[in-house]
Amino acid sequence: MVSEAASLASSKEKLKLSSDQMPFSISDKWHQKSRDWTGRLFFNIASLCTEPACKMHEKNTFLKLARSEPKPPNVTEKLSQLAQKTYLCAQVSLLLPITVFTGTIGMFFRLFGYFTQSSEFNHLKGNLKEKDFPTDNKASIFFLNTCFIGGGYPLTNGGVLPWKSRINQVIEKIEKADADIVCLSEIYDFKASQILYNKLKDKYAHFYLNIGPHFFGAKSGLLVASKYKIQNPHFIDFHNTLVHNKNSNRRGCFAFEAINKENKPIAKVYSTHLEYSEDDSNPTDGEKKARKDEIDLIINDIKNSEVVSPTILTGDLNFSKDEYDKTDLVTYFRKTNTDNKGTCRRDEFNKKLWNQKIDEKAKKENAFDLDHTFILRKSPKDEKKLTKFRVSTKIIPCFDEPSEIKDKEDILKALSDHHAMKIEIKI
């Protein structure tokens, strides 16, 4: 399986063009655009074909959730619970034969889309006129891990509702933040990225979708929208570092420079989602090594390109302070968010939702401070200190704290299992 994945990835690289190799003739640009349009069409068809499978998994997860509920005390509630379970069972049974047929077709269309898309990302222009320079000499970035996973996985992996129930509220949160650049992670369903583009295209000038696509499994899940023109966009692939789902996931980092009307960089941004831990409160040595190796790949990318100041690293880094102190982040970067309450409550949400015991020790160890923003303070190229910038990172709440949650309905009001971050840089 590993060799097959490597072979397909190698074949794809031969077909694709890097951002530095993009041709400039009209015919070649047209060819690139037509490939990207066709790739989007194939991925859209694949998403449509796999919808029954996602819906079946979602209904089956709701059925399991219903079964995890304690038995109600009176007859009326018992009958209501039984009717709900029967209805969900019927839906799963009806969707199963459809899923077998359409899911297979969807896999082929995803494969077609993977080889058709012209690069490691899909660039679409929005309707907004490109911004020339930061307002009040401040540039801003919004980051959120959305938990937009297909099927019922948001319920089991994040303790939140499926993405279709939350996407409009997430869009409202993005619009209210009104950041110059939006960086999102866990946008795994292609349809979700299309909805985000359609709803936000009047607010942003450039969109980068379907970053790090996969021929069979999950893409990187990263998405970027920018009011500024972007140059040198590229994807840093973490494939060789992964511990979990190595052959069915393309985790990575999307790097780019936001530029002004004179094509001079305003800021360089690295938006990423590092390897996760099965247990956030007790990460394994392999998981820690994977994240350290991924940080090294990002630092090597900085070394091998022109150093831009400011350079921002933001994302779901999946580690707490004790771990990042042992990486090269300490040597070259300065942390900008200091909120020690943490940004993720996934484990607590899951356990409350599924009637499981909550590990009090994990809560005290602050194991859920997973989302971070750093600014480059020293060049890894020549070890020189860089110009200091005022950077502030504000946590934007996307859920109620577990101590404030009274019942499961409160948990399911959450926009995500992560809080968002808004970063402001004084230019």
The answer as to whether 385 is a domain residue is: yes
Within this chain, do residues 359 and 249 fall inside the same structural domain, yes or no? yes
- Which of 85, 116, 147 lies at the terminal end of a domain, its last residue? 116
Q: Alpha helix (H) ranges present in 227-356?
A: 285-303, 321-324, 329-332, 346-353
How many domains does the structure of the chain reveal?
2
Whether 205 and 130 have beta carbons less than 8 Å apart is answered as yes
Positions of the chain with pLDDT lower than 50, given as ranges: 1-23, 365-367
Shared-domain flag, residues 87 and 108: yes
Q: Give pLDDT, residue 359.
A: 64
9 part of a folded domain? no
pLDDT of residue 115: 93
Which pair of structure tokens corresponds to residue 274?
């590092």
Q: What is the pLDDT of residue 26?
A: 67
Query: How many CA atoms does the CB half-sphere of 338 hold within 13 Å?
Result: 4
Determine contact, residues 170/225, Cβ cutoff 8 Å: no
Q: How far apart are CA 426 and CA 81, in angstroms?
A: 55
* Residue 37 covered by a domain: yes
174 with 255, same domain: the answer is yes
Domain assignment present for residue 12? The answer is no
- According to DSSP, the residues that pair with 122 across neighbouring strands are 209
Helix and strand numbers (H, E) in the chain are 13, 13
Which of 86, 116, 146 delimits the end of a domain? 116
Q: Please tell me whether residue 359 adopts helix, strand or coil conformation.
A: coil
Report which secondary-structure segment, H or E, holds 196.
Answer: helix 190-200
Task: Residue 223: give the domain boundaries.
Answer: 122-426
Is the same domain home to 112 and 128? Answer: no
Residue at a domain's end among 73, 97, 116: 116
Query: Secondary structure of the chain: what % helix, strand, coil (to 5)?
Result: 45, 20, 35
Does residue 10 lie in a domain region? no
Residue 11 placed within a domain: no
- H or E stretch covering 36: helix 26-49
For residue 228, what is the domain's CATH number? 3.60.10.10
**CA dist., res. 127 & res. 202, Å (int):** 5
User: Are 135 and 24 contained in the same domain?
Assistant: no
Asked whether residue 384 is assigned to any structural domain, the reply reads yes
- pLDDT at residue 22 in the model: 46
Q: Please indicate, yes or no, whether residues 102 and 143 belong to a single structural domain of this protein.
A: no
User: pTM of the entire structure?
Assistant: 0.89
Q: Are residues 165 and 232 in the same domain?
A: yes
pLDDT number for residue 403: 66
Identify the three-state secondary structure at position 143. Answer: strand
Q: 282-319 b/e with 16+ CB inside 10 Å = b? A: ebeeebbebbbbbbebbbeebeeeebbebbbbbbbbbb
pLDDT on residue 366 = 45
Same-domain pairing of 160 and 109: no
Looking at the fold, whether 126 and 69 belong to one and the same domain comes out as no
Whether 207 and 107 share a structural domain: no
Residue (of 323, 345, 342, 333) closest to 373 by Cα position: 333
Per-residue model confidence (pLDDT) at position 8: 45
Q: Are 418 and 371 in contact (CB under 8 A)?
A: yes
Quick one: 288 and 221 in the same domain? yes
Write out the two tokens for 406. 């009274």
Decide if 6 is inside a domain: no
What span, in angstroms and rounded, lies between the C-alpha atoms of 180 and 177? 9
- Claim to verify: residue 178 and residue 82 sit in the same structural domain: no
